[in-house]
Structure 1
Amino acid sequence: MALRRSETLVEIEGCNGDLVTISGPGQGREGFQLLEGGLQDVYDIPFTTIYTQHAFEQGATYNGMRIERRTPVITVLAHATSSRHWMAVDERWAELWSPLADTKLWVTTPDSRRHLLIRQLEHMRVDLSVDPHGEQKTEIETPGVSGDPWWWEPSVFDPWKSTIDTTDGSTAYGTVTVSNPTPYPIWLKWRCQAGPNPGTKWTLPDFSWGNKIHRRAVEDADRVIHMPAMLGNEHVDVETDENAKREQARSTLDTQFYMRMEGKTFLYPLPPRLDPVEIPVAVTGAPAGVGVRVECPRPWPRPWGQRR
């Protein structure tokens, strides 16, 4: 849908897969209208800074920043349409939400389309100061929670495929392009492929990009991770986030791939506002045609803007 420069489209994609418009072009057509002030805690990323202070310190010392969960509240007017009684509209709204599954809040502007994942935090609240049966409408307040507080755009992928056979122990070298237009660091994701026989070994970059978090910004400027030998026809997914809720490297065949990593871990994210740049990859012990793919996620702190 092409939007005029002044338009913003707000949609709810329910946990049941249903998509409804609550604001912007088409609002009200399905019986929903976003009320004034009906979107709360959805704008900037919620965070708190951490400072510590010893007994005789003058002031305090910065020790980090914690990204918090969001607790968005969405308030809509649910009303009858030409084809639906208000109760049917009300029931449809309830079916969009669950405390056990994600609903997507979509915000589309002429420059972007992003979504926020929300689950129902508490029971819905309905304004019964007027009779909805008589008025054929009611106000519904839906308290939500976003354990993942980022606004997401589709990831950007770049693959590389080896064109030479390296089963003789030689090495094939290539590059993939990465970028980060967002104002926060992002963590790369990789998909590594093996040949039909065991022995494929990938080398992936883990550059510090000047990050001083491990006090090795200079030493790790060209840091790489030599991945362990893979099984035949194995795929390995790598999520470099050191705080990921799962192991960094996961195989499609071996449930204990992390043990084959022998303690090696990825340490560094891409810095904010990084223009597209090529980074090196390498493979050995594999036939021609094996490949690797890098994924650059696109998490944003706001529903629009901030693009470099």
Structure 2
Amino acid sequence: MTFFPDGTANVVLAGPGESSDLPERAWYLSEHHLVGRESCGVVLAPGWADYTEPKANHLWFKTARGEGAFWLGAVTEPREFFLPVYVHRTQGRPFHDINDGFWSDIDYHFESRLHVNSTRGTKFVDFRLADQPKVATEYDPIFDSFQPYLVPVICGRPWWFGPEDVFEWVNGKPVEGRKLRNSGDQKASPEWTIQGPGAFQIPDGQGDTVVTTPNLYPGEIARIHTDRSKYIAKSNMRPNLYRDMGAQRFRYPVPGRKSLDMSKLRVIGGNEYSSAVCTINPKSRRPW
């Protein structure tokens, strides 16, 4: 029995590949290590834990004479967990060949990616080696061609990410009833790519609020990050688009598993080349 029973989910570990001068490799961790020994040579062992929720630090305001404290918020910490695996020989590949390849794809100095594919879709998290792997063995593993490892990993971005949610629109196409759903369970700030000419009215949040851009020139393409911690907006014709927007700012991220209503999307003074693409990078606490 594997960690994920048949038909529920499977786990794939992908190395950094060409970006770190390594081969493009994937390790299919949900295969059983005793089924003909024809798998990739690395499988998930029992005992995987702490992958469903990141840790957080609560921030409190306390007074000298007051009882208790007032909650100010919570800061999510980098996600840390142990990944238990078996490394074993396969038909045609010796143990040391597989062991060297696997450990080439996990390191302190670069990130690897762990995918979980389930009936609810695919989610992934990027991680790097956090500490020394835990190894317990009585003999040189070459005798058994088999070695269990408990691999400590850390993820700077603590959420499980999914494929982008995308909305595309060209001037003249209807927007009534069209929405962009945030498929993650955490709030998300959309990113917009708009092409002029025209001044765009971009919906913000769940109500009737819109943010109006300056008039874009023909051929001008602007990228707008609506995250309040970034406030990045620039185009191929001006370095700071937010400066030309005055006091306007995007204020309302899309809640988890909710949708952004696009019915207020407009372009004033546009033509058949005016267009908009909105994307959300969904974030979740759990891999399914």
Q: Which TM-score tier does this pair reach, normalised by the shorter chain?
A: 0.7 to 0.9
* Residue in structure 2 matching 1:224, options 210, 220, 223: 210
CA gap of 1:87–1:279, structure 2 versus 1, over 3 A, is same
Q: Hey, what's the Cα distance between the residues in 1 that align with 2:245 and 2:182?
A: 27
The answer (yes or no) to whether the contact 1:234–1:252 under 8 Å persists in 2 is yes
Aligned to 2:20: none
Q: Hey, what's the Cα distance between the residues in 1 that align with 2:5 and 2:151?
A: 29
What is the correspondence of 1:226-245 to structure 2 with a 5 Å cutoff? 226-244=212-230
Are 1:142 and 2:157 matched, yes or no? no
The answer (yes or no) to whether the contact 1:162–1:174 under 8 Å persists in 2 is no
Are 1:159 and 2:168 matched, yes or no? yes
What is the correspondence of 1:158-177 to structure 2 with a 5 Å cutoff? 158-163=167-172, 174=175, 176-177=178-179
Q: What is the TM-score with the length of structure 2 in the denominator?
A: 0.83
The answer (yes or no) to whether the contact 2:196–2:219 under 8 Å persists in 1 is yes
Amino acid at match of 2:44: L
Q: Hey, what's the Cα distance between the residues in 1 that align with 2:262 and 2:221?
A: 23
CA gap of 1:102–1:263, structure 2 versus 1, over 3 A, is farther
Q: What is the TM-score with the length of structure 1 in the denominator?
A: 0.78
What is the correspondence of 1:207-286 to structure 2 with a 5 Å cutoff? 207=205, 209=206, 221-244=207-230, 247-262=231-246, 264-274=248-258, 277-286=261-270
CA gap of 1:184–1:279, structure 2 versus 1, over 3 A, is farther
Q: Hey, what's the Cα distance between the residues in 2 that align with 1:35 and 1:259?
A: 54
Aligned to 2:14: 13
Q: Hey, what's the Cα distance between the residues in 1 that align with 2:43 and 2:175?
A: 52
The answer (yes or no) to whether the contact 2:59–2:73 under 8 Å persists in 1 is yes
Structure 1: runs of 5+ lacking an equivalent: 165-172, 210-220
Amino acid at match of 2:85: V
Q: Hey, what's the Cα distance between the residues in 2 that align with 1:155 and 1:42?
A: 22
Moved more, 289-298 or 18-27: 18-27
What is the correspondence of 1:22-33 to structure 2 with a 5 Å cutoff? 22-24=29-31, 29-33=39-43
Aligned to 2:87: 78
Aligned to 1:64: 73
Q: Using the TM superposition, give the Cα deviation of residue 161 of structure 1 relative to its aligned residue in structure 2, in angstroms.
A: 1.1
Aligned to 1:111: 120
Q: Using the TM superposition, give the Cα deviation of residue 31 of structure 1 relative to its aligned residue in structure 2, in angstroms.
A: 0.9
Structure with the largest fraction of strand:
1
SS at match of 1:42: coil
Instruction: Considering Cα pairs closer than 8 Å and 6+ residues apart, tell me whether 1 or 2 has the greater RCO.
Output: 1
SS at match of 2:79: coil
Aligned to 2:277: 293
Q: Hey, what's the Cα distance between the residues in 2 that align with 1:5 and 1:36?
A: 15
CA gap of 1:120–1:250, structure 2 versus 1, over 3 A, is farther
CA gap of 1:78–1:24, structure 2 versus 1, over 3 A, is closer
SS at match of 2:114: strand
Q: Hey, what's the Cα distance between the residues in 2 that align with 1:128 and 1:249?
A: 55
Q: Hey, what's the Cα distance between the residues in 1 that align with 2:260 and 2:238?
A: 34
Q: Using the TM superposition, give the Cα deviation of residue 156 of structure 1 relative to its aligned residue in structure 2, in angstroms.
A: 1.8
Aligned to 1:202: 200
Q: Using the TM superposition, give the Cα deviation of residue 194 of structure 1 relative to its aligned residue in structure 2, in angstroms.
A: 1.6
The answer (yes or no) to whether the contact 2:31–2:43 under 8 Å persists in 1 is no
The RMSD of aligned alpha carbons is 2.7
Aligned length: 275
Q: Using the TM superposition, give the Cα deviation of residue 262 of structure 1 relative to its aligned residue in structure 2, in angstroms.
A: 4.0
The answer (yes or no) to whether the contact 1:190–1:239 under 8 Å persists in 2 is yes
Aligned to 1:168: none
Q: Using the TM superposition, give the Cα deviation of residue 277 of structure 1 relative to its aligned residue in structure 2, in angstroms.
A: 4.0
CA gap of 1:98–1:202, structure 2 versus 1, over 3 A, is farther
SS at match of 1:59: coil
SS at match of 1:94: helix
CA gap of 1:204–1:25, structure 2 versus 1, over 3 A, is farther
- Once the two structures are aligned, what percentage of the paired residues are identical? 20
CA gap of 1:124–1:232, structure 2 versus 1, over 3 A, is farther
Amino acid at match of 1:202: F
CA gap of 1:180–1:120, structure 2 versus 1, over 3 A, is same
CA gap of 1:180–1:202, structure 2 versus 1, over 3 A, is same
CA gap of 1:254–1:10, structure 2 versus 1, over 3 A, is same
Q: Hey, what's the Cα distance between the residues in 2 that align with 1:261 and 1:11?
A: 44
Amino acid at match of 1:21: Y
CA gap of 1:285–1:277, structure 2 versus 1, over 3 A, is closer
Structure 2: runs of 5+ lacking an equivalent: 18-23
SS at match of 1:71: strand
Q: Hey, what's the Cα distance between the residues in 2 that align with 1:257 and 1:101?
A: 34
